[in-house]
Structure 1
C-alpha cells in the first residue's frame, strides 16, 4: 500500500499551522498574556517559543520525515530491537486520545454557540446559558456533532481531506479575525482594552516569576501541538526537499500572529461594550469566551452578525486542531496494523465518543483531564521525543535537519542538536517536576 503524502508544501504548512492554531490561541493565549503582564508575558513566551518550541518542533519533524511513520511506528523503526522506544511513541498516541476526550466537548460548545449566534438565543443571559449547556446529555450530543465533523475530514485522507480542509479553514480564520480586530480597535474605549492586553507590566515578573514561566512554557507547548506526536505524523507525509528550519519558523510565526489577532478582538470588545473584564472573564477559563465575550455581543450593533463571524473563526480553529489529533491514532492503526483509513477513523471516533461523553457528563473529570493530565502528558511526551532525536538518532537527526535546509539554516544544525540533547530535556524535566509538585 502506497503511503499518502502532502500535495504541496503550502498544504503541509497550513495543516501544521492549523494543528497549532486551536483553542490555545484564540481562547487561552490572550488571557495568559493579560494575566501575566501584557508585553512582559509576550517577551517570555516568544523566547520560549524560539528557544524551546521551534527546536522541539524541528525534533518532531526530523523523527517524522526520517521514519515516514506515526509516533509509535517512528520510534520503533528508528530504534530497531529496542521495544521501549516504541512505547514512548505509543504514549503520544494515547495522549492524542486523551486530548480529544475533553477537546471534543469544548468543540461541541462552540458548535452550539455558532448555531445559536444566528438567533442570539444566548444574548439575554450568557452566564445562565453556558451553565445550562456546558455539561450533561445535550453537551454530549453536540460533542458528537463536533466529532463527526472532525472524522469526516480525516476520512478524506491526507490530500483529499486534511490538506483541502486546512487550505480553506486557515485563510478564513485569519481573515475573520483580522476583520473583527480591525473593527474592534475602532470602537469607543477600545484603547483601554489594547493597553490591558499589551502594556508592559513588570509586577508578574517580580511577584510570580515561576508562575509566569510555567504559564509561558505551558502555552508554548500546547499551542504548537508538541509532545503528542502531531508534528511527527504530519512530517511523515513530507518530501525530502522541504527545509525543516524554514517551515518550522513559518509555523511558529503564524501561530503566534493568530494568538495576537485574537487578543486584538477580545479585549477591545470587552472594554468597549462591557467596560472591562467581568467576574466571569477575569480567570480566563471557559467563562471568558462563553460568558463574557458572548455577553459583549448583546451590546454590539448587529451583534448576531459579529457573533457568527467570531464563533465561525473559533470553530474553524478548533476543527483544525482536532483533525490533527485524530490523525495520530488513525495513522498508527493504518501504518502498524494495516487497518483501512475508513475503519480506523470510524473505530477511533467511536472510542472518543464514549470517553468524550464521560467527560461531558462529569465536570470534575473534564477539569482534571483538561487542566492537569494533558499538561503533564504533553511535557513528558516532548521530553521523550527530544531525548530520542538527540541521543538515539544523533548524527542521523542532524543529517535529516540539514536535508533540504541549505544556506544559513543548515549552519544551525549543530547548535540545534546540542540544545535537543541537553538544555531542552532538562528544561522540560524541571517543568514537569514543578507541575507535579504543584499537583501534589
Structure 2
C-alpha cells in the first residue's frame, strides 16, 4: 500500500478544513440560497442548524475518519466489515455529484475573473463573444453558463484543482490553503468595509439581517430544508471530505476544538460574504424574497459593478476571492476519490489524481452542456447525498463504534471534551437522525419530480447511452481489482 500523507501542522489542517467548508458554499451558494429563501428568514434558521446539527455531525465525521485512518470506503470496511462498505460508497458518490456541478460553477468564476480584467472586451473585439460581463450582465451569464464557453471554463478549473491535489496533502493542499484562506478573509473584509459606504447599503443589510418572521411562518418547511442542505454543504459534511481530512490527523489533536474552530470560522466568513453581496446588490437594485438562483452572484453583482467608476477593478477583486474559495473547496472534494485509489488499490497519488481529474472533466461536461442537469445536481442530488451520507456516518458511530466513538473524541481533548462526549453521542443517536431523515424525505419528492421532468425530455438514444453507462459502472465496481491491477 502506498504510504499515506499527513498534515504538517495543526494550522494547516484547520485552514484546509475551513477552505473546504468556505468554498463556493459560502461566497456563491450562501447568497443565492439566502436570496431564494427570504433573506433574513433563511439566515436565522441556517445559523441554528449549523451549530445544532452540522457541528455535531462534523465532529462525528472527524471521529470516524481519525479512527479509521482511511478513505470513506476503507474506513467503514476497517472499523466494521466489508458489508459496511456501501456507506463509504455513498460518500464517494456524493463527492462525485458535488464536484461535477461545482467545477462548472468554478469555471464561471474563472470566466468572470477573466472578464473583469478585460477578457470579455478582447474576445468580443475578435468575434469570439457577443456579450460582455458588465455591458449586458443577464445575457452574458446566459451565454457563458451553459454550452462551449462553460465547458472550456470547467476544464480549466478542474485542471487547476487536479494540479494542487497532485502534489499531496502537505505539499499541495496544505500549502495552497495557507495562502488562499487568509487571502479570502482579508479581501472580503476590505470589500465589506467598502460596501458599507454605498448608498442603499442599509436596505441590503436589513434584507440580510433583520428577521422576517412573516416569510418564515409562511414558508417554514421550505426554508428549513434549504437551510439544512446549505448547512451541510457549507461545512462539507456527508460527502466524506472531513472524514478523509481527519484520517490524516494525529491522536493529540482535539477533534472538538478543531471542529468548533472550523464551524465558527466558516460561519463568520459566510456572514462576511453576505455583508459584501447584499449591500452592493441593493445599492443598485434589489432582490425579492423567494427569487435569486445560481446566477444572482454573477448577474446582480455584475450589474452593480457596471455602474461603478472602478467597477472592473472591484469586480476583479471580488471574483478573485470567489476563485480562491472555489479552489480551496474543490481540492478537498477531489481528495476523497484520490485517497480511495491510494488507500484501497495502492495506486500512486500522481496517477490517481490524473485519472480522477479526467473523470471529473467528463462528468462535469454534462452539467456544463445542460442547465437542467446542473440544476438537478446542485439543487436536489447534492442536498440528498449530503444528508444521507451524514446520517449513515452518525448511525455507524452510534451502532458500531459506540464507546469507541467517545473514546476517540476524548483523545487530545481536555475536561470540556470529556464532559461533552456523552451528550454528543446521545445527540447524534437521537435528534440528528430524526432531523436528517426529515430533510431527506422532505427533499426527495422535489428531486424525483425534477428528475422525471428531465428524463421526459431525453431522446431515445439518451436512454441507450445511460444504459451503457450504468452497465459500464457496474462492471467497473465488480472488476475494480482487475482494473486497478491494469492501471498499475
TM-score bracket, normalised by the shorter chain, equals over 0.9
The reply to whether residue 115 of structure 1 matches residue 114 of structure 2 is yes
Give unmatched runs, 5+ long, in structure 2.
122-132, 449-488
The Cα of 1:38 is off from its aligned counterpart by 4.4
Counterpart selection for 1:396 from 397, 400, 404: 404
**What pairs up with 1:170-181 in 2 under 5 angstroms?**
170-181=181-192
**Whole-angstrom distance in 2 between the partners of 1:325 and 1:300:** 36
> Equivalent residue for 1:87?
86
Is contact 2:380–2:446 with CA below 8 Å preserved after alignment?
A: no
The reply to whether residue 98 of structure 1 matches residue 108 of structure 2 is no
Aligned length: 435
**Whole-angstrom distance in 2 between the partners of 1:227 and 1:268:** 32
Instruction: String of CA shifts for 1:65-109, please: whole Å, max 9, x gaps.
Output: 111101111111001xx3221111122112211211111111111
> Equivalent residue for 2:269?
258
The reply to whether residue 325 of structure 1 matches residue 326 of structure 2 is no
**Whole-angstrom distance in 1 between the partners of 2:43 and 2:383:** 20
The Cα of 1:37 is off from its aligned counterpart by 4.9
The reply to whether residue 276 of structure 1 matches residue 276 of structure 2 is no
> Equivalent residue for 1:56?
57
SS of the aligned residue for 2:391 comes to: helix
The Cα of 1:205 is off from its aligned counterpart by 2.4
> Equivalent residue for 1:365?
373
The Cα of 1:185 is off from its aligned counterpart by 0.5
Is contact 2:196–2:279 with CA below 8 Å preserved after alignment?
A: yes
Structure whose CA Rg is larger: 2
**Whole-angstrom distance in 2 between the partners of 1:49 and 1:224:** 8
SS of the aligned residue for 1:112 comes to: helix
The Cα of 1:218 is off from its aligned counterpart by 1.1
Is contact 2:409–2:417 with CA below 8 Å preserved after alignment?
A: no
CA shift in 2, pair 1:246/1:304, >3 Å:
same
Give unmatched runs, 5+ long, in structure 1.
none
The Cα of 1:132 is off from its aligned counterpart by 1.0
Counterpart selection for 2:308 from 300, 319, 335: 300
Is contact 1:282–1:288 with CA below 8 Å preserved after alignment?
A: no
Q: Which moved more, 1:15-24 or 1:29-38?
A: 29-38
The reply to whether residue 196 of structure 1 matches residue 207 of structure 2 is yes
| TM-score (norm: length of structure 2) | 0.86
**Whole-angstrom distance in 1 between the partners of 2:199 and 2:374:** 38
Is contact 1:123–1:297 with CA below 8 Å preserved after alignment?
A: yes
The Cα of 1:284 is off from its aligned counterpart by 2.3
SS of the aligned residue for 2:295 comes to: helix
> Equivalent residue for 2:194?
183
SS of the aligned residue for 1:167 comes to: helix
The Cα of 1:140 is off from its aligned counterpart by 0.8
Is contact 1:30–1:197 with CA below 8 Å preserved after alignment?
A: no
Is contact 2:15–2:181 with CA below 8 Å preserved after alignment?
A: yes
User: Where has structure 1 moved over 2 Å in runs of 4 or more?
Assistant: 30-44, 275-278, 281-284, 437-440
**Whole-angstrom distance in 2 between the partners of 1:369 and 1:50:** 26
The Cα of 1:297 is off from its aligned counterpart by 0.5
CA RMSD of aligned residues (A): 1.5
**What pairs up with 1:144-293 in 2 under 5 angstroms?**
144-272=155-283, 274-277=284-287, 283-293=291-301
> Equivalent residue for 1:437?
445
SS of the aligned residue for 1:276 comes to: coil
The Cα of 1:143 is off from its aligned counterpart by 0.6
